[in-house]
């Protein structure tokens, strides 16, 4: 097994589904699983202080190596004593290797077997990432869990193109393992293969032969239908070792979390809850609502009377509606606090019901009452967001 101070203990599996409760132990503390990580790509969960992130119930965050490499620079973070001290976060941190940017910044990079040449979205300068450099940078940042450098394919890629990226991902995974020097960080492998079951199986077989301390499922939530996400995540999770954590990358809508926990996923991350919050979309037990709608302009109750977050304890929906209309900065903070609290409570509740044997009833009740975003609208919004990533920061 890869040497690391991180470990995972499986506590209970739901007998009539694949839902699991466990504990992930890291050098910066233990976290219960299932766990959701808010995204702080540049060392900050947008609009919130570390204390406010903690107050929402979040105990682990994700940061991005590529973005921190560009700003402020890996050496600056290293001189500050590492990412934990630099961003003043004392809990566990996971860093993405920059592999996701191979996909999301497709118009700003060139890929070869050696690595990737990125053209900076900030000033147009070129920067080369290799598997060895991705590991070196993450070791300098000092996260508890680090990721291999990989190539993620677009949802509409051909099978041949996905297989080519898969083979490259496997070669890069071997190079990342050989490059790892720090033994207090857990290096996770990333399973690729698009929506092709046979490629996913091959990827699992290859990566598990390298015996990583944890495994991520990449290449999903990149524009494919939700049912495909669920099917591939479940099929892949079932192939992974039972005693290792299973991390589904980039998935974070409430219904997706419930569906994928039921399929055996332990760890999640997504920028979705914080991004939609800044656009006025707030989670409630009955679904996502738009606080900008006129119906909230005179609603003197909180947006969700069952929520205990700072926003719902303190302010009315009418006040939050006013802040968004006036474009006051407080609006984005309050909405972000609410959405992260909602997700945190959802994750906590799922774990409780796995442990007490009532998860399936909880899942069915939640999905029956939670109205999801229209699939066509969702895919259109996602595509527009992907396109914007190639032209802005």
- Per the structure, the count of domains in the chain is 2
Q: Does the pLDDT at position 121 exceed 50?
A: yes
Q: Judge whether 358 lies within some domain.
A: yes
What one-character DSSP code corresponds to residue 296?
G
**pLDDT band of 108, cuts 50, 70, 90:** very high
CB atoms within 10 A of CB 64: 21
Q: Are residues 253 and 287 in the same domain?
A: no
In the set 96, 144, 150, 256, the catalytic residue is 96
Q: Judge whether 380 lies within some domain.
A: no
Q: Judge whether 106 lies within some domain.
A: yes
Q: Judge whether 205 lies within some domain.
A: yes
CB atoms within 10 A of CB 49: 12
Q: Does the pLDDT at position 380 exceed 90?
A: no
Which CATH number does the domain housing residue 188 bear? 3.20.20.105
Q: Is 123 a catalytic residue?
A: no
Look at residues 269, 301, 335 and tell me which one is the last residue of a structural domain.
Answer: 269
Q: Does the pLDDT at position 390 exceed 80?
A: no
What pLDDT score does 379 carry? 57
Q: Is 113 a catalytic residue?
A: no
**pLDDT band of 41, cuts 50, 70, 90:** very high
Q: Judge whether 388 lies within some domain.
A: no
Q: Are residues 109 and 241 in the same domain?
A: yes
Spatial separation of the C-alpha atoms in residues 4 and 94, rounded to whole Å = 14
> How many residues comprise the chain?
393
Q: Are residues 198 and 331 in the same domain?
A: no
Under 8 Å CB-to-CB from 344, ≥6 apart: which residues? 36, 56, 57, 58
Single pTM value for the model: 0.94
Q: Judge whether 1 lies within some domain.
A: no
Q: Judge whether 180 lies within some domain.
A: yes
Measure Cα distances from 323 to 291, 300, 319 in Å: 10, 14, 6
Which residue range forms the structural domain that includes residue 337?
278-374
What pLDDT score does 373 carry? 80
Spatial separation of the C-alpha atoms in residues 188 and 147, rounded to whole Å = 5
In the set 144, 266, 269, 304, the catalytic residue is 269
Dmax of the chain from CA atoms?
Answer: 61
């Amino acid at each position: 097994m890869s040497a690391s101070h991180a470990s995972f203990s499986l506590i209970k599996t739901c007998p009539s589904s694949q839902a699991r409760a466990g504990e992930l132990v890291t050098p910066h503390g233990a976290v219960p699983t299932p766990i959701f990580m808010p995204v702080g790509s540049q060392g900050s969960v947008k609009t919130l202080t570390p204390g406010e992130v903690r107050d929402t119930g979040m105990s682990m965050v994700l940061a991005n190596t590529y973005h921190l490499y560009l700003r402020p620079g890996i050496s600056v973070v290293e001189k500050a004593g590492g990412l934990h001290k630099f961003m003043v976060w004392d809990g566990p941190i996971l860093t993405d290797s920059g592999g996701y940017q191979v996909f999301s910044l497709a118009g700003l990079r060139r890929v070869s077997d050696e690595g990737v040449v990125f053209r900076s979205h900030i000033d147009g300068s070129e920067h080369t990432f290799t598997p060895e450099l991705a590991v070196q940078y993450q070791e300098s940042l000092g996260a508890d869990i680090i990721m291999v450098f990989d190539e993620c394919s677009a949802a509409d890629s051909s099978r041949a193109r996905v297989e080519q990226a898969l083979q490259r991902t496997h070669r890069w995974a071997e190079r990342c393992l050989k490059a790892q020097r720090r033994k207090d960080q857990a290096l996770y492998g990333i399973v690729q293969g698009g929506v092709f079951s046979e490629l996913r199986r091959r990827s699992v077989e290859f990566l598990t032969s390298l015996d990583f301390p944890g495994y991520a499922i990449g290449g999903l939530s990149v524009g494919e239908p939700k049912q495909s996400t669920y099917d591939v995540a479940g099929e892949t999770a079932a192939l992974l070792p039972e005693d290792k954590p299973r991390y589904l990358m980039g998935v974070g809508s409430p219904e997706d979390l419930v569906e994928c926990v039921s399929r055996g996923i332990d760890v999640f991350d997504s920028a979705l809850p914080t991004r939609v919050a800044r656009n006025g979309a707030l989670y409630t037990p009955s679904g996502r609502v738009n606080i900008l709608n006129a119906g909230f302009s005179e609603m003197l109750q909180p947006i969700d009377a069952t929520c205990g977050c700072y926003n719902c304890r303190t302010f009315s929906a009418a006040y939050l509606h006013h802040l968004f209309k006036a474009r006051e900065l407080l609006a984005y903070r309050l909405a972000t606090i609410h959405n992260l609290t909602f997700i945190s409570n959802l994750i906590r509740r799922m774990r409780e019901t796995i442990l007490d044997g009532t998860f399936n009833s909880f899942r069915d009740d939640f999905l029956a009452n939670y109205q999801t975003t229209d699939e066509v609208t969702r895919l259109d919004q996602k595509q527009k967001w992907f396109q914007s990533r190639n032209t802005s920061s």
